[in-house]
Amino acid sequence: MSTNPPNTYWNAEVYDRIATPMRGWAQAVIEDLGLRGDETVLDAGCGSGSVTFDLLEKLPRGKVYALDYSPEMIEKLTASIQERGVTNIIPLQADLTDFELPEAVDVVFSNAVLHWISQDDALFAALLRATKPGGRLRAQCGGGHIYRRLMPVVDSI
């Protein structure tokens, strides 16, 4: 029996040490959102939550559903939420291709995640279900080869 973690395993402590470039990319996407400050946002693939807290700075009257597949990432985020006494981040451990939120969101935000999910149709169908009519999706997910794969799916919905 292998002792290696499955492909879906992410080490939250290591991730925080190596994710500096991805956090920088997220800042541009967050600024581009032009948030009013009262929106409800889904952070799709929130990881350990470092970018979730950056996003929350733009949402003083809003809230963030922070969703990730990795239980370890959600545990780390939950600990950070408790340490900071934050009440408007709701951590959720779930698969991005099949999840339910308590309410529809104004914005789906994702940073350096969507290209890791191979089930494009299920992914974007789930994100669409989670979004209010007229809501927005803003994602950073890598270079041209990724966009060539994902944009036809996005355009079809």
Segments making up each domain of the chain, as ranges = 12-156
Which pLDDT does position 87 carry in this prediction? 97
Mean pLDDT in residue range 7-31: 61
Which pLDDT does position 149 carry in this prediction? 60
Compute the mean pLDDT over every residue in the chain, rounded to the nearest whole number.
Answer: 83
Per residue in 62-110, pLDDT (tens digit) is 999 999 999 999 999 999 999 999 999 999 999 999 999 999 999 999 9
What architecture is the 12-156 domain classified under in CATH? Answer: 3-Layer(aba) Sandwich (3.40)
Report the predicted TM-score, pTM, of the whole model to 2 decimal places.
0.79
Which pLDDT does position 145 carry in this prediction? 54
Q: Which residue has the higher pLDDT, 106 or 27?
A: 106
Chain centroid to CA 50: 11
Angle at 33 between CA 43 and CA 95, to 5 degrees: 20
Per residue in 119-138, pLDDT (tens digit) is 888 999 999 999 999 999 98
